Amino acid sequence: MIEPIRAALLGIAVVATSTQAAPSAAEFFRPPAISSAVLSPSGKYAAVTQISPDIGRQVLAVVDLGARTLKGNIVAAYPNGDVRDVLWVNDDRLVYTVADLQTSFFNQHGRGLYSIERRGGENPLKLVKRSWGEDGGTVNLSPEIARVRPRDLSLDPNHRVLSTLGDGSPNIVVQRFNWSQDDVLLGTSLLKLNTETGRSEPIGAGAPPHAMEWLVDSSGTPRLVESEDEGVTRFHWRNAAGAWTQIREMPTYGAASVKGTWIDALAVGKDDKLYVTTSDDRNGDERVLAVADMRQAGAEPKIILATQGYDFTGSLIRGAGDAIVGIRYLTDAKGTYWFDPALKAIQEQVDKALPTTNNLIDCGRCDSPDNVLVEAYSDRQPTVYMIFRVKAGQVEMLAPSRPGLKAADMAERGFERIPTRDGLSMPVHVTKPQGTKGPLPMVVLVHGGPYVRGGEWEWDADSQFLASRGYLVIEPEFRGSRGYGSTWYRAGWKQWGLAMQDDIADATRWAIDKGLADGKRVCIAGGSYGGYATLMGLVRYPDLYRCGVEYFGVTDIELMYTSSWSDLSPTFRQYGMPVLIGDRAKDAEQLARTSPLKQHSKITQPLLMAHGRQDSRVPIEHGTKLRDALREHNSQVDWVVYAEEAHGWTSANNKIDFWTRVEKFLDKSLKPAP
């Protein structure tokens, strides 16, 4: 069993509290100075996406770790775009996407896919177009360079990278999404794409119809397909002879209620090993990592890793020859289980050198590495990227992600499991402002989804920003949240506004009863489903919450079934929503009772509402209908629309603007003593 790892980090030295003014909202929500760093397969180079001070854009730099200094060589930069999602194809070539972090969703042109040589000096080859009808060929880094490829081989925007390969070739596997004329996903297919020439060829011939998800082996050969049709998910395995066979069938939605059927395919390893996460009665409630030998007919997965108190969530770490050398997992924080003794020893050396942070190491293909990339962070420390020199046993700074923020100014983030009114146990994240004593004004921050995991032990911009303004922040992992066992997940089905809402109230009262929070100064806030829960909190518990902040929130469950603007798929509406939310006919009374719009007369507290006009997940009519209804009786509603945003913020400036509004709203509605 893997135990939660945060306890090992609680012995960190206490940093003296800073008395300087709190950092601005921009420091928390602008793009980080360095957003990612990835080691090449050999471990000799690091690819870094960082903000260039010259153009104010995120660029791609390659650092030669054998050089005397760790200064990167910029190989891709755009005056009107930001480099994202970098992957090494082999030691000499990389692929990446491009977005525009300075504009909103409506003005985006897709991310495309580009290939560049590690040394730079050539124009990137456009592998996937950013928009339909866009010219292919190369994209110039500077106006004086003008090369034209003899033929446009770039793929349309409905392609994305599925996998790089471990064979040193310039090939990758891309997945094509096949849509109907009315934007319904019919299925996906695969291509092998040469990142040097742009030429591609279809692979996966003979696969079953309605293929949605694929797994390929290290050579890029498709080995497993997950298909979906009429509410049923089927898994198909391709053997060495190329024949496809169905190996598992389960309901697409509601499979967690059927013992022994619910699996998620994770990876294909050497010798036809299939790695999955699965529920297993012998391990109790949590999902585990297991492996099946697909060379044996009817092979059942054997457990290889269980994370006590948590569903297994993570990935495999591959070494030379495609060997599995370690497993990255998540309990209350991320950790690594190393099978390779040498890599385990390196991890121990890094942890000894950096005892106050959680340290995730990247060792490329992990074949006796000379250099290890370290991603170090804590609840108070935003990510810092470092290089660990294995032979010397020394750590060298590469770059901090947020140099404008100091750990001394940040809040401590804890993790609790508290009882609910019906006797279950609920995980809760608690962020306490530095240098304060309770009871404090509190913000109850509700995660979206809702059937996802909300958070973990790390630096979090939303909760840290609120804590920097003097607010205690709690984030309940209410029933229905994923990652804490199938019983807790299933307990949230059809409980929108009911037991899920009770959990949030129970967490609120727990913080008050513990003396952490001032019961007269509590605000509830959240986005998407969290916005819905904010509204239902104001409806059902008016004496508990003094105000609310909802953004991109569902206001009427009926609209989820009927809105023509929504991007919720017909399959999810037909098969998923009746299981997870409620049957529109059979549960009509419950859905009306738990609809904020239909209960709008009960919302009398100050409320900040923020929506994106281009939102297709929770269309703008959710916001406008509730806003208009509240105007009849509630004069304390602040309303803001981000005209060119969708379900969330693409523009950093818009996100900064929103959280600045939140700060002012809380200053007025929550901070003053009652």
What residue spans define the domains of the chain?
411-669
Query: pLDDT at position 142, please?
Result: 42
Q: Average pLDDT per run of 10 along the chain, which is 674 residues long?
A: 42 40 94 96 95 94 91 93 96 95 82 93 89 60 40 86 92 94 88 95 92 94 94 92 91 71 87 90 80 88 92 94 93 96 96 97 91 97 97 94 95 97 97 91 98 97 98 98 94 97 98 97 98 98 98 95 84 92 95 97 98 94 97 97 93 96 98 88
Separation between Cα atoms, residue 168 and residue 41, nearest integer Å: 9
Give yes or no for a cis peptide into 672 (omega within 30° of 0): no
Q: Is 448 helix (H, G, I), strand (E, B) or coil?
A: coil
DSSP assignment string, 382-414: --EEEEEETTTTEEEEEEES-TT--GGGSPEEE
Instruction: Determine the 3-state secondary structure of 570 from DSSP.
Output: helix
Strand order in the sheet with 472-476: 412-419, 425-432, 472-476, 440-446, 517-527, 547-551, 607-612, 637-642
Q: Could you tell me if 195 and 211 are in contact, meaning their C-beta atoms sit under 8 angstroms apart?
A: no
CA distances (Å), origin 598, targets 90, 530, 559, 629: 57, 18, 12, 9
As beta bridge partners, residue 475 has: 429
Residues in the chain: 674
pLDDT score of 15: 34
For residue 503, the 8-state DSSP code is: H
Type of residue at 484: Y
| Helix (H) or strand (E) run with residue 418 in it | strand 412-419
What is d(CA 443, CA 518) in angstroms, rounded to the nearest whole number?
A: 11
Q: Is 51 helix (H, G, I), strand (E, B) or coil?
A: strand
Q: Is 298 exposed, middle or buried (0-12, 13-18, 19+ CB in 10 A)?
A: exposed
How confident is the model at residue 508, as a pLDDT? 98
Q: For residue 609, which amino acid is it?
A: M
For the stretch 203-209, contacts whose Cβ atoms lie closer than 8 Å and that sit 24 or more positions apart, written own/partner, are 203/173, 206/242, 206/243, 206/244, 207/236, 207/238, 207/244, 208/234, 208/236, 208/244, 208/246
Helix ranges, 514-650 (H): 529-540, 557-562, 570-571, 577-580, 588-593, 621-630
Q: In this predicted structure, what is the pLDDT of residue 145?
A: 37
Strands (E), 613-666: 637-642
Element (H, E) at 185: strand 185-194
Apex 353 CA angle, 347 and 354, nearest 5: 85
3 state SS for 457-488: CCCCHHHHHHHHCCCEEEEECCCCCCCCCHHH
pLDDT at 141: 43
Amino acid letter, 539:
V
What is the three-class DSSP state of 107?
Answer: helix
At residue 366, φ and ψ (nearest 5 deg) are 55, 45
Per-residue model confidence (pLDDT) at position 17: 42
Phi, psi of 164 (to 5 degrees): -90, 170
On whether the CB atoms of residues 418 and 505 are closer than 8 A, the answer is no
Distance between CA atoms of residues 531 and 551, nearest Å: 6
What pLDDT shows up at residue 653? Answer: 94
CA separation for the pair 505, 421 (Å, rounded): 10
Measured CA distances, 580 to 49, 78, 255, 270, 577 (Å): 39, 44, 11, 37, 5
Phi, psi of 464 (to 5 degrees): -70, -40
The encoded tokens of residue 341 equal 């003794």
CATH architecture of the region 411-669: 3-Layer(aba) Sandwich (3.40)
Which positions ≥6 away from 20 have C-beta within 8 Å? 409
Q: In whole angstroms, how far apart are CA 614 and each of 126, 537, 610?
A: 28, 26, 13
pTM of the model: 0.92
Q: Distance between CA 431 and CA 480 in Å, rounded?
A: 22
Question: Is 225 within 8 Å of 213 (Cβ atoms)?
Answer: yes
Beta bridge partners of 549: 525, 608
